[in-house]
Amino acid sequence: MKLIITDLTPFPIPIEGNYQLINPGAPIHPCTGCFGCWIKTPGKCVICDSYENTGIAMGKCSELILISQCCYGSVSPFVKAVQDRAISYIHPDFVLRGGEMHHKRRYGNVISLSAYFYGEAVTETEKETARKLIAANADNYDGRIKSIRFYKSAKELKNLIL
């Protein structure tokens, strides 16, 4: 399954195959850092809104696709809030990967991560920061990068086929 997290609504991009779309359809409450998703309800956020099952959805996906406005070399506030609420995807225990300490995966899937950024005045420095951020995300998810692309506007994304 493809899990698509985006700040675009309505979503203008055709999608092929099995997917779940997470976009700003309802208000999102920020992660409070309570670790309830690790201890009280493993895999599921304890905050009850439309986003409490994002970590579980990540555990079922083979591809995570982020489609976001590029904000200072990062994803938009909405996409970041969804990612924060999905921390339950990883387990609280640690492992060494590539000589670095990381959380181990809670689920058996290996995520292939793609990021499609849009924005009119994205600088080369912001693009490099975004590439490093997505690489760090892939590292933290114990996944791999499939694609990172930049577009001048959200309208250009309509030719993308996911």
Determine the pLDDT at residue 47.
96
Q: Dihedral of CA 6/7/11/14: which sign? A: negative
Number of helices and strands in the chain (H, E): 4, 7
Percentage of the chain surpassing pLDDT 70? Answer: 100
**Chain segment 36-86, per-residue pLDDT in tens:** 999 999 999 999 999 999 999 999 999 999 999 999 999 999 999 999 999
pTM of structure: 0.96
Q: What is the per-residue burial (b if ≥16 Cβ within 10 Å, else e) of 81-112? A: bbbbbbbbbbeeeeeeeeeeeebebbbebebb
Tokens, residue 91: 């387990």
Residue 135 is inside which H or E element, if any?
helix 124-140
Q: How confident is the model at residue 120 (pLDDT cuts 50, 70, 90)?
A: very high
Whole-angstrom CA distances from 161 to 92, 156, 157 are 35, 12, 9
Determine the pLDDT at residue 19.
97
Residue ranges of domains in the chain:
2-159
Which phi and psi (to 5°) does residue 78 adopt?
Answer: -65, -50
Q: Residue 80, Cβ neighbours under 10 Å: how many?
A: 19
Whole-angstrom CA distances from 19 to 45, 123, 132, 154 are 21, 32, 26, 20
CATH architecture of the domain formed by 2-159? 3-Layer(aba) Sandwich (3.40)
Determine the pLDDT at residue 161.
86
